[in-house]
A = this chain, B = another copy of it.
Amino acid sequence: MKYIIVGAVAGGASTAARLRRLDEHAEIVIFEKGEYISYANCGLPYYIGDVIKDRNKLFVQTASAFNKRFNIDVRISTEVIAINPSAKTITARKQATGEVYEESYDKLVLSPGAEPVRPPLPGINSEGIFTLRNVNDTDYIKAYVQQKKTSKAVVIGAGFIGLEMAENFHELGLDVTIIEMINQVMAPVDYPVAAFVQQHIRSKRVKLRLNTAVTGFTKNGDQIEVALNNGEVLIADVVILSIGVRPDTRLAAMAGLQLGQAKGIQVNEFLQTSDPDIYAVGDAIEFENPITHQSMITYLAGPANKQGRICADNVVLGNVRSYKGSINTAIVKVFDMTVGTTGTASKHLKAAGIEHIVSTTHNGSHAGYYPGAKQMTIQLAFAPKDGKLLSAQIAGYDGVDKRLDVFASYIKQGKTVYDLIEFEHAYAPPYSSAKDPVNMAGFVAENILLDHLRVFYWNDLDQLQPDDLLIDVRRKDEFEAGNIEGAINIPVDELRNRLHEIPSNKTLYIYCEAGLRGYLAQRILRQNGYEAVANLSGGYYLWNACTT
């Protein structure tokens, strides 16, 4: 047997290693057009930012070590430029010499990854404007920043990599401006979750320009003038373009492999392309999202690595193992904050026509009485009919990754908010509370489903009618420190004695800081004959983040 693999990083190298473990005697050849294999793409921003100091650490494997361990023929600096599926050969070109040759295969695996989007803006190819995908990009950026003694950076695109680069430039002492075309950072999460991140970014004195597009670049000496759609011009020493990636499907398309709706390589559940002897994994493929059932691409290292293992099994053992799709669990550190998502955001559920309810809770990362607890915000989306979990998004400072992983495990398994209630977490004061934030999110979601709790949302507030009554049930001092216009203040602990102040014919909109006291107030009111009572999901804390 002879296996050829195209691309020797996350998906490709993982496939190759597992292939060898399953088949000691096969011939395995892996092609990589770049100089390096098995490198830590995800670490690149941190190497630029000097958080990772030793460049060698970026390489999980080298070509020669990989060969020694796995007896794999690693051909670096060699690009596969064509596939001939009927002859079962590929054509390769050595970068150094230009030499072109053919190589036959029994099974071929493609893991070419994705490439950064570079829109055809005027001046886009000026020196000092970079995208970041591989080690070479990294070396260029790092050298440029050091040699040119840059002091002003503009990061275009506030996705995960953009935010990581903004943070790392900031840590290097650069003055950073982030430009983002839409109204929020981190497109995969919903606005309220992004709002907390935006607050945090601004608190670090990184400038954030939302709803802003770049129209072009002009080189001026060592500097770059970045023109914005509002007519403004920003001056930058270095520009990072991080507005997204697209699957690298050139080779696949040329070979006549079927591409999908999302313009990735179409694969079946066994990660097999339209040619049964060619498999594909990683950023280049598309498959059905288990939540929306739409065809989608996942640009994430975890899925790429796991697909590699599945693919190798199917290649060697026949199609024995299904890939069940990715729920797009992703996380990013943004300065002191951690933000992440698993499942499908509310806005994307809406776009896909999937009915759902959203609920937001805030909880401490661990017991409040033990030092160091930090607040986190959890936003769930779930199905109104059966409570099936559709997504969880979290923004906070500690323990965010933990809760995200727990939610991911539930979502991956198609579980419901009711299952969250029964989650039996590990509790000791340094790690959690007797009721974990995951349980709390479950309680509140369940209360909504069982109509113990009726909610309204921060962006419903401008639709209040003149006759409606907005009640702030926090303490007087909290109310006085800031409140929502038009609200009256009746602290929840006084509510039972002040019911006579509340007219019974009005619709009542209740809020507190986080949502808990508003819920208690609603329980009291509804059991005292007030029927039209809604509680602000996520409370004043969320409203404040979303509106400032």
Contact = CB atoms under 8 A, between A and B. Distances in A.
A331 interface: yes
Nearest to A10: B434
Contacts of A305: 434-435
A20 B493 CA distance: 13
Nearest to A453: B21
The CB with the most chain B CB atoms within 10 A, among A306, A333, A342, A428, is that of A428
Interface stretch (A100-108, A127-135, A253-261, A367-375): A367-375
Nearest to A439: B306
A492 B43 contact: no
Nearest to A51: B371
A25 B527 contact: yes
Contacts of A21: 452, 519-520, 523
Interface of A: 10, 20-25, 40, 42-43, 46, 51-52, 57-58, 60, 65, 68-69, 71, 160, 300-306, 309, 324, 326-327, 329-333, 338, 340, 342, 367-371, 401-402, 404-406, 408-410, 412-413, 415, 419, 421-432, 434-436, 438-439, 443, 452, 492-493, 496, 519-520, 523-524, 527-528
Given A51-B371, A302-B436, A306-B424, 16 more contacts: A10-B434, A42-B428, A43-B367, A51-B370, A52-B369, A58-B369, A69-B492, A302-B425, A302-B435, A305-B434, A329-B424, A338-B430, A408-B423, A409-B410, A409-B423, A413-B415
Nearest to A496: B71
Given A69-B520, A426-B331, A452-B21, A369 B412 contact: no
A520 B69 CA distance: 9
A419 B425 contact: no
Contact of A426 (B25, B40, B408, B528): B408
A426 B342 contact: yes
A329 B425 contact: yes
Contacts of A22: 452, 523
Number of copies: 2
A371 B69 contact: no
26 contacts: A10-B434, A20-B523, A40-B369, A42-B429, A43-B369, A43-B370, A52-B371, A57-B368, A65-B493, A69-B492, A302-B427, A302-B434, A303-B424, A304-B434, A306-B424, A309-B443, A330-B428, A331-B426, A333-B428, A342-B426, A402-B405, A404-B426, A405-B406, A406-B409, A408-B423, A408-B426
A425 B439 contact: no
A164 to B, nearest CB: 8
Contacts of A523: 20-22, 24
Nearest to A412: B424
B333 A435 contact: no
A492 B415 CA distance: 43
A10 B433 CA distance: 12
Contacts of A58: 369
A21 B52 CA distance: 52
Given A43-B367, A302-B435, A408 B425 contact: yes
Contacts of A435: 302, 305-306
Contact of A405 (B160, B302, B405, B452): B405
A98 B68 CA distance: 82
A56 B528 CA distance: 34
A406 to B, nearest CB: 5
Nearest to A425: B405
A42 B51 CA distance: 37
A448 B436 CA distance: 34
Nearest to A18: B443
Given A367-B42, A367-B43, A452-B21, A333 B430 contact: yes
Contacts of A410: 409
Contacts of A302: 424-425, 427, 434-436
